[in-house]
Structure 1
Amino acid sequence: MYQAQHCFTAFKSPIDSYQLPERFTFPFYYEPHPLCVLAAKELQAYLSSQTDWQHNFGLGKDTNKIIGKMFGVLLVRNNGGELGYLAAFSGKLAEQNLIDGFVPPIFDMLTKDSFFHAEQQGINQLTRELTELEGSSELSELRERLATLEQEADDELEAMRATIIEGRKVRKLKRAQAEAELSQQSLAGLNVQLGKESVAEKNRLKAIKRHWDGLIAEVSDSLQLLETEIESLKAQRATQSNALQQKLFAQYRFLNQAGELRDLNQIFKDAPNQQPPAGAGECAAPKLLQYAFAHGLTPLAIAEFWWGASPKSEVKQHKQFYGACHGKCQPILNHMLKGIEMDDNPLLSNPAEGKVIDILYQDEAMAVINKPAEFLSVPGKNISDSVYARMKQRFPTATGPLIVHRLDMSTSGLMVIALSKEANRTLVQQFIGRTVEKRYVAKLAGIVAGEQGEISLPLRVDLDDRPRQLVCFEHGKHAHTLWQVKARDDNHTWLYLYPQTGRTHQLRVHCAHIDGLDLPIIGDDLYGARANRLHLHAERLVLNHPITGERLTFEVDAEF
């Protein structure tokens, strides 16, 4: 299908009926252009049938080393005016950087003559030396010997101090008795004798301390030599690794349509941590644009899709299109797409415009509202319109922060609003204490097996692609959800969801993740596929009135 020397691929299917895109794709949030969808289907057909290389995407029975992969297609026009597309993969494919038909990497560190191999071998040698030293019997024996000596020294010194204390008591008693029974001359002689006993005991304590200090110092000095050598190797490895990293970053040079070249060090200079994240420049989108600019091809639209089983930590659906990641790609693509007219960023438009918030209950202390879908709970970075802003207008004399809890922007349903500081404090404590009963209803894209269950998958934010969440058993926060089937049809399941914790995107990830229900909520553009809306609704809320303490129940049906 593909040839390495010519990555431009002409469409196999007729494209005369397709309209060209008016502007380039906004790469971080988009509906793929129909020509990109067609290109992706042709690429997917190749992936399904090719026998040129082997890579376990997790689509078969082989469960060994499953690695799903992000692929990208770039719609381009060549100098002859012909339309076609380029294909790329993120990272490596089949343990290779170069595969026929796919655009090459920005920099191929796997080539035999690459400086990376030689310098990495030096770093690997330092690592081997460190591993050998840190695992040596000499090091462990010295540490054990030092710990034993310190404990023995403490024991003997403590015993001697106890002897001194007891001797002090005995001498004090002897003096008291002697003062009543002995003459002044005899008493003076006794005091001299008792003083000598005290000095002798203190000298014994000093001698014991000198003895143990000598033994400990000998072992400690030997241990210090080894630990100093280890720290020196660590520092040397860190210096070499940092130098190699900076040298490597400098090899990743990115073009834009004006022919301007910038490397990763320059591109990320103004980023928050001024350091390119691991894997920066290895994603499909920068590879595609680099090849187009370097070979005089005009980029028209782009799309990226996931192929294979989902990773264990994140949620990726087979064949689903995804936007470019923010942490790794945004600074790079900002440079590469400079001067290219793009689609508007949909995240800058106000999705709440024209929508009305229904107030279901109101008294002097609180209000309960039905938040529409695609409506922020609190002001965002670029959009101020929100439940908070609307409630501020609706209740201008209310005191306190108003917002007691939040719903995701895409989730509709019940929210309680506090109209005084006192009510806010009481209501917040109910949420913190988990005495509030919450029930959501969700429509899932498939049939859930079983009638009820629970999901416990810890979550944390994806630092490279906010606001997406990852399942992380090392750093994630505990997240627990109960579920119960409400209804089914041939292709969908309606669930009741009962969040026992309140993590960001908890219900969405717990439904979509392979270790959860493995079925995304319909309309979930982060963890599933887009639809007219996210089919998740906060349907029921039970809480105590902040003033009277009366147990109140609120329900509102979902629109889907």
Structure 2
Amino acid sequence: MTNNNQNSISYFSDNTINGIELPGRFTFPFFYEPHPLTKIAADELQHYLETQIDLDHNFGLRENQAGTAVGKMFGVLVVQDAHGKLGYLSAFSGKLAGSNNHPKFVPPVFDMLMEDSFFLKQQYILNDINKKVKEIEADEEYRSLKREFELASAQSIEEINAFKKQQKSNKADRKKLRAEQKNTLSKQEYADLEAYLIRYSLHDKHEFNVLSNNWAQLLEEKKSAIASFVENIETLKKDRKEKSNALQQQLFDQYVFLNKDNKEKSLEAIFRDTVFGKPPAAAGECATPKLLQYAFLNGYKPLAMAEFWWGIPPKSEIRKHKQFYPACTGKCKPILAHMLEGITLDEDPFLKNPGEDKKLEIVYEDDHFVIVNKPSGLLSVPGIQIQDSVYTRLKYAFETIEPLIIHRLDMPTSGLLVVAKTKESHKEIQKQFLKRTVNKRYTALLSKVIEQQEGEITLPLRGDLDNRPRQLVCFEFGKKAITKWRVIERNEVTTKVHFWPLTGRTHQLRMHAAHELGLNAPIVGDNLYGTDSNRLYLHAAHLEFTHPITKEKLSFDIAEDF
């Protein structure tokens, strides 16, 4: 596996990097502050993107540009060549302007778009199947038969339900008649009446069966008329699925990744031991794996990496133009674990405990529960790598009592947290949280000035499966998330607000603050949806609920320290 194309490297000019110390370790890809060299490389690449007129892609940055506007993740990799000269490689995630190959950018690990490739040939076949499916679905006879079946089906339900309603009414009339005549008729007369009512009931049942059978026969006839169309569509879809799966497997076999020792590992082998056991869609197409692959193929030593977003944000994720972002976890983490094997990385910040030296303040305590003021940086419950948490500290303090966590705050969020000391209290307070009768108010410092005074944000959220723990705005599969907010203070470049979460979704306040359909203003210090700072400026300031035993209304307030 070789690649002799040396045109993708851009060498630094000596005066640009004069006095900048080389990184001692390679960047930890999933949380980093860009090294000065990667910032210079990113600036140069961004200047190239701003001035490049031959790149036929609409990033949404120019007015009246043709094509659908789509932002894109770009990456830079600072490298040292065999002679010790410093330069950088550039890459984009996925495809750009419908192509994998562009000047200045490294090629993909595998070019599925090269002329006469098996991928394109199979795509033509799949496209042809899609065309045939659409042709059948658009056939006027098929559409007419479907409409007839749907109308008949609806009419059958309406008539059968009406008959059932009448049957129920007739049964009630018979019951009423029996009760009225039981004590007024002779024994023989009442027996004759009962025989008549039974025949009446049997007649109703017979009529219902006739009606049901007639409709069933009619619907079956109409269903048979469209069966050939449906069968053809299902056969085509089954064929498409089988061919698509085979194509995906063939693609997986083509993606083979290197590390610094030229050890190869296929995409399928890399993901075999992950939770899902197979690669997600588009795995291997992200910028950083492309960059490392090219560096290893051409004998370059990787020194530092960085990725940034260019263009308008996607509708679901939080992405800001020119802002740096870590490599994704779902697609890239398993791949990079192999590719960076044997390379010394910067320290993993997720192994550090930022709450280690911070005090957990007890705000209120009785025999049933405790209210604490959680400092920013302390976990609510033990994590995989870090055990120190509100739970472990209370367990140590209580000695003989098991703390029962009712709700949580994100590690970087500070403020009020209630923890039960008995199962009864846990059940009662948790019930209040589930019924949303608990009043919670947060204070946050937003990273820009908000002109509107107050409002309500309704943006459904779901987890980003490719990039945990991030969340996505998703109107199709997301869970309802509602936040009320009000401005309490404006500064030159920031706004302090109160948040009232009416639902309790993961990262709800952070997403509603950062997303362009929300406030479009990330919370200061939000390293997931904004930019990092000394802390996340989000504080759970107010908590109000009913005492689980005395039923007294309780209210607690802790002012933010920002």
TM-score greater than 0.5 by the shorter chain: yes
After superposition, the C-alpha distances for 1:196-239 in whole angstroms (9 at most, x for unaligned) are xx9xxx9x999999999988776655543333222221111111
Partner Cα distance (1:210, 1:358) in 2: 73
TM-aligned CA deviation for residue 129 of structure 1: 1.2
Partner Cα distance (1:474, 1:371) in 2: 35
Partner Cα distance (2:387, 2:86) in 1: 42
TM-aligned CA deviation for residue 455 of structure 1: 0.7
Alpha carbons of structure 1 residues 415 and 9: separation in structure 2 relative to 1, 3 Å: same
TM-aligned CA deviation for residue 135 of structure 1: 3.0
Aligned to 1:28: 30
Question: In the alignment, residue 124 of structure 2 is paired with which amino acid?
Answer: Q
After superposition, the C-alpha distances for 1:147-192 in whole angstroms (9 at most, x for unaligned) are 7888889989x99xx9xxxxxxxxxxxxxxxxx9xxxxxxxxxxxx
After superposition, the C-alpha distances for 1:10-63 in whole angstroms (9 at most, x for unaligned) are 124532311111111111111211211121112112222222323322233348
Aligned alpha-carbon RMSD (Å):
3.2
Report if aligned partners of 1:443, 1:492 keep a CA contact under 8 Å in 2: yes
Report if aligned partners of 1:153, 1:209 keep a CA contact under 8 Å in 2: no
**Which aligned pairs between 1:511-522 and structure 2 lie closer than 5 A?**
511-522=513-524
Question: In the alignment, residue 27 of structure 1 is paired with which amino acid?
Answer: P
Aligned to 1:267: 270
Partner Cα distance (1:153, 1:488) in 2: 60
Partner Cα distance (1:502, 1:355) in 2: 26
- Partner SS, residue 438 of structure 1: strand
- Partner SS, residue 383 of structure 1: coil
Of the three residues 431, 434, 441, the one matched with 1:432 is 434
Alpha carbons of structure 1 residues 396 and 222: separation in structure 2 relative to 1, 3 Å: same
Partner Cα distance (2:398, 2:60) in 1: 54
Report if aligned partners of 1:457, 1:510 keep a CA contact under 8 Å in 2: yes
Partner Cα distance (1:536, 1:348) in 2: 23
Alpha carbons of structure 1 residues 320 and 210: separation in structure 2 relative to 1, 3 Å: closer
Of the three residues 68, 88, 91, the one matched with 1:88 is 91
Question: In the alignment, residue 541 of structure 1 is paired with which amino acid?
Answer: L
Partner Cα distance (2:11, 2:292) in 1: 17
- Partner SS, residue 77 of structure 2: strand
Aligned to 2:60: 58
Report if aligned partners of 1:4, 1:100 keep a CA contact under 8 Å in 2: no
- Residue 258 (structure 2) pairs with residue 248 (structure 1): no
- Residue 81 (structure 2) pairs with residue 71 (structure 1): no
Aligned to 2:544: 542
- Residue 109 (structure 2) pairs with residue 106 (structure 1): yes
Alpha carbons of structure 1 residues 149 and 491: separation in structure 2 relative to 1, 3 Å: closer
Question: In the alignment, residue 301 of structure 1 is paired with which amino acid?
Answer: A
Aligned to 1:362: 365
Aligned to 2:314: 311
Question: In the alignment, residue 333 of structure 2 is paired with which amino acid?
Answer: Q
Partner Cα distance (1:287, 1:253) in 2: 11
After superposition, the C-alpha distances for 1:451-474 in whole angstroms (9 at most, x for unaligned) are 111111000000000000000001
Of the three residues 477, 480, 488, the one matched with 2:479 is 477
Choose 1 or 2 for highest CA Rg.
1
Aligned to 1:169: none
Aligned to 1:348: 351
Aligned to 1:239: 242
- Partner SS, residue 24 of structure 2: coil
TM-aligned CA deviation for residue 243 of structure 1: 0.9
Question: In the alignment, residue 506 of structure 1 is paired with which amino acid?
Answer: Q
TM-aligned CA deviation for residue 139 of structure 1: 2.9
TM-aligned CA deviation for residue 249 of structure 1: 1.8
Task: Give the paired residue count.
Answer: 523
- Residue 41 (structure 2) pairs with residue 47 (structure 1): no
Query: Which deviates more, 138-147 or 387-396?
Result: 138-147
Report if aligned partners of 1:358, 1:371 keep a CA contact under 8 Å in 2: yes
Alpha carbons of structure 1 residues 306 and 211: separation in structure 2 relative to 1, 3 Å: closer
Alpha carbons of structure 1 residues 323 and 215: separation in structure 2 relative to 1, 3 Å: closer
- Partner SS, residue 341 of structure 1: coil
**Which aligned pairs between 1:382-397 and structure 2 lie closer than 5 A?**
382-397=385-400
Q: Which runs of 5+ in 2 are unaligned?
A: 168-187, 189-201
* Identical-pair percentage: 50
Report if aligned partners of 1:4, 1:102 keep a CA contact under 8 Å in 2: no
Query: Which deviates more, 216-225 or 482-491?
Result: 216-225
TM-score by length of 1: 0.86
- Partner SS, residue 476 of structure 2: coil
Aligned to 1:15: 17
Query: Which deviates more, 3-12 or 522-531?
Result: 3-12
Aligned to 1:463: 465
- Residue 339 (structure 2) pairs with residue 336 (structure 1): yes
- Residue 415 (structure 2) pairs with residue 413 (structure 1): yes
Question: In the alignment, residue 552 of structure 1 is paired with which amino acid?
Answer: L
TM-aligned CA deviation for residue 355 of structure 1: 1.9
Question: In the alignment, residue 523 of structure 1 is paired with which amino acid?
Answer: G
Aligned to 2:172: none
Q: Which runs of 5+ in 1 are unaligned?
A: 163-179, 181-197
Alpha carbons of structure 1 residues 146 and 295: separation in structure 2 relative to 1, 3 Å: same
- Partner SS, residue 416 of structure 2: strand
Question: In the alignment, residue 135 of structure 1 is paired with which amino acid?
Answer: A
TM-score by length of 2: 0.86
TM-aligned CA deviation for residue 281 of structure 1: 1.0
Partner Cα distance (1:279, 1:107) in 2: 12
- Residue 115 (structure 2) pairs with residue 120 (structure 1): no
TM-aligned CA deviation for residue 292 of structure 1: 0.1
Report if aligned partners of 1:4, 1:101 keep a CA contact under 8 Å in 2: no
Of the three residues 486, 498, 501, the one matched with 1:499 is 501
Of the three residues 375, 379, 403, the one matched with 1:376 is 379
Partner Cα distance (2:117, 2:297) in 1: 21
- Partner SS, residue 367 of structure 2: coil
